[in-house]
Structure 1
Amino acid sequence: MTTPSGPARGAGPEPTAGGAAPFGQPDPAEQLSRLGRSWTWVLGAAIATLVPGILALVWPDVTLHVLAVLLGLYLLVIGAFRFVAVFGREEAGERVAGLLVALLFVLGGVLCLRNPLQTIAALSLIVGGVWLVSGILGFYAAVATKDMPHRGVAMVVAVLGITAGIVVLALPTESAQVLTRLLGLWLVLLGVAEVVLALSWRSALRRAGIPGRTRPGAET
C-alpha cells in the first residue's frame, strides 16, 4: 500500500478565487486529502486486508463462489481506500500511480463479482495480476516519492505484493481449498505488513509534532 507524503497542510480549507467553498463550509477535496493522509486510514486498509485473509484461513472449505465474492468485496474495499489516499499525494506522478492502483483494485473486484461461476484459474489470474501490478506501482511510488519518512517499510509492502502476485500466478492450483489457503496466507502477510506501515506512519507524525488523534495534513 502506498502512502501520501509531503508537507503538512492547514487544518481547514484555503479559499481560492472562483472555486472556493463558501465560508464556513468544508472543502470536500481538503477533507479527503486530510483523511487519506491519516495513519488511521492506512490502518483501516490493513484491517480490510487482514479480515478476508483470516476468514479464508479459518474457513478452508469455502466454496469457489463464496471465495469469489469474498475476494471481490476485498478488492472493492481496498480500491476505495486507495482512491481516498490519492487525495493525500503532493506530486502529480504520485497521484497518477495511486489512481491507477485504485482503479486496478476496483476493476479486479468487479471481475470477481460479475460472474458467480468463476473458475480457479480466473480467480488466480485476477487476484495475482492485481497484486503484481499494484506492487510494481507501489514500489515505484516508494522510490520516486521525495522525503518519504518510511520508505523502507513501503518498499517491503510493495515487494510482498509483487511476490504474492508472482506466486499466485505461477503456482497451479487444482482445488478451491488450495487456492483459499494460498490467498488467505498472502492476505494475512500483506495485512500485517500494512499494519506495520500504519504504525510507522503514526510514529513519523508524532516526530513531526502532529497529534495522532487528528487527521493530519501530511502522511502507502
Structure 2
Amino acid sequence: MTEPRGSAAHGGPEPAPDGTTPGAAGDPADVLAGLGSSWTWILMSALATLIPGIIVLAWPGGTLHVLAVVIGLYLLVTGAFRFVTAFSRGEHGERLPRLLGAVLFVLAGVLCLRHPLQTVAALSLIVGTVWLLSGMLTAYTALAAKDMTHRGLVLGAAALGIVAGIVVLALPTESAVVLTRLLGLWLVLLGLIELGIAFAWRSALRKGRAGDLPGPTGPTAPV
C-alpha cells in the first residue's frame, strides 16, 4: 500500500503540478525523490494493487498456479513502487521502514513465484504476513511523521492492511477458490484506499506551494 509522505524540504526547487521535483537529475536519490513525490506515481501504485484484485475476482476458477503468479507479480511491482517512494522523504529515520517494506514485498513476490511454494497454505501465509507487517510499518510511519498530510486516510489504509493480514492468516483456506476470492476482495479494497490517497495528494499539491506541503509516502503504503 502507498501512503502520503512527510513534508518536503523547504527552500528546495518547487515541484511541477504533478508533484515531481525538477532539477534533480544529478543525484539518483534526488531523481527517485522527485518521482516518488508525484501524485501520478501514487496513482500507478494504486492501480498496481487494484488491477490484480479485479483480475483475481473476475477469474475465481483460475488454477492455483495462475493465482500464485498474479499475486507474486503484484508483490514484486508493489515492492518496486515502495522502494522509489521511500526516497521521497528526506529523513533517513522514516526512510528505513519504507525500505524494509519494499524488501519485504519483493522477497514475498519471489517466494510466491517459486513452484514448490505454490500451495494454498503457503500463499495464505506469505500474503497475510506481508499485509500484516506492511500495515504495521505504515502505521508507524504515519504516527512518526507529525507533518504528514491526510494522516487519517493513511492510518485507515494501515489498519485495513493489518486487518487483511490477520484475516488471511487466521481463516483456514483449504480451497483455492476461497483464497482467490478473499485475496481479490482485499486487493480491491486496498487499491481503492490508495486511489483516494493519490487524489487527495493531487488536491494538496494544487492548493499549496511545494515548500509548504507534506510530501507523499509510499504501498503502503505503503505501502
TM over 0.5: yes
Shift of 1:6: 1.4
Shift of 1:44: 0.5
1:66 maps to a residue whose letter is V
Give 1:3's aligned residue. 4
Residue ranges of structure 1 left out of the alignment (5+ in a row) = 14-24, 211-215
Give 2:23's aligned residue. 12
1: CA distance, partners of 2:56 / 2:215: 35
Map 1:117-136 to 2 at 5 A: 118-136=118-136
2:39 maps to a residue whose letter is W
Shift of 1:26: 3.6
Q: Check whether the contact 2:5–2:214 (CA below 8 A) recurs between aligned residues.
A: no
Give 1:88's aligned residue. 88
2:7 maps to a residue whose letter is G
Give 2:74's aligned residue. 74
Name the structure, 1 or 2, with higher relative contact order (CA <8 Å, separation 6+). 2
Matched, 1:198 2:198: yes
State TM-score, norm by structure 2. 0.87
SS of the residue corresponding to residue 89 of structure 1 reads coil
2: CA distance, partners of 1:79 / 1:3: 16
Q: Check whether the contact 1:142–1:151 (CA below 8 A) recurs between aligned residues.
A: yes
State TM-score, norm by structure 1. 0.88
Shift of 1:159: 0.5
2: CA distance, partners of 1:5 / 1:145: 6
Shift of 1:52: 0.6
| Identity score, percent | 62
Map 1:178-217 to 2 at 5 A: 178-209=178-209
Give 1:35's aligned residue. 35
1: CA distance, partners of 2:146 / 2:88: 14
Q: Check whether the contact 1:105–1:130 (CA below 8 A) recurs between aligned residues.
A: yes
Matched, 1:164 2:195: no
Structure 1 residues 204 and 63, CA gap change in structure 2 (3 angstroms): same
Q: Check whether the contact 2:3–2:194 (CA below 8 A) recurs between aligned residues.
A: no
Residue ranges of structure 2 left out of the alignment (5+ in a row) = 14-21, 219-223
Shift of 1:217: 9.6
Aligned residues: 204
Shift of 1:116: 5.3
Structure 1 runs, 4 residues or longer, greater than 3 Å off: 216-220
Structure 1 residues 55 and 116, CA gap change in structure 2 (3 angstroms): farther
